[in-house]
A = this chain, B = another copy of it.
Amino acid sequence: MTPTPEQDAALSPIMKAPIARQVFVCTGSSCAANGSEAVLAAFRALLTERQVLFQKGSTDGTVLCTTCGSVGFCAIGPAVLVYPDGVWYAHVRPEDVPELVEAHILGGEPVARLVRKRVG
């Protein structure tokens, strides 16, 4: 039998966390070769500093930040996806992360100069 949601919630604190947005940083081979790990690190550091990152010891965070596999932005990466907004960014560098966090992740306004696709 599949466990119930109540049973699962005891094992998975994120089930009750108030996640509002999820940031995916592509770590496919092309994006990785273009520095996406540094972009991921920059997001995690700044989101931690702003006290919004969901992570161990901070389970009331409203933002989750994970890797993802290739989305076809191989030639224009590093790619960063923000959902549920459905906004895809290309050419993201660590120095773009403060603007992306303040304007979009916290402020709700996508950063138009780096947007290359909208989903949904």
Residues of A in contact with B (beta carbons under 8 Å apart)? 2-3, 5, 8, 11-15, 17, 19-22, 24, 27, 54, 64, 66-76, 81, 83-86, 90-91, 113-114, 116-117, 119-120
Contact = CB atoms under 8 A, between A and B. Distances in A.
B120 A20 contact: yes
B114 A20 contact: no
A116 to B, nearest CB: 6
A116 B15 contact: yes
A85 to B, nearest CB: 7
A68 B71 contact: no
Contacts of A2: 91, 113-114
A68 B66 contact: yes
A70 B13 CA distance: 13
Nearest to A85: B84
B5 A116 contact: yes
A84 B120 contact: yes
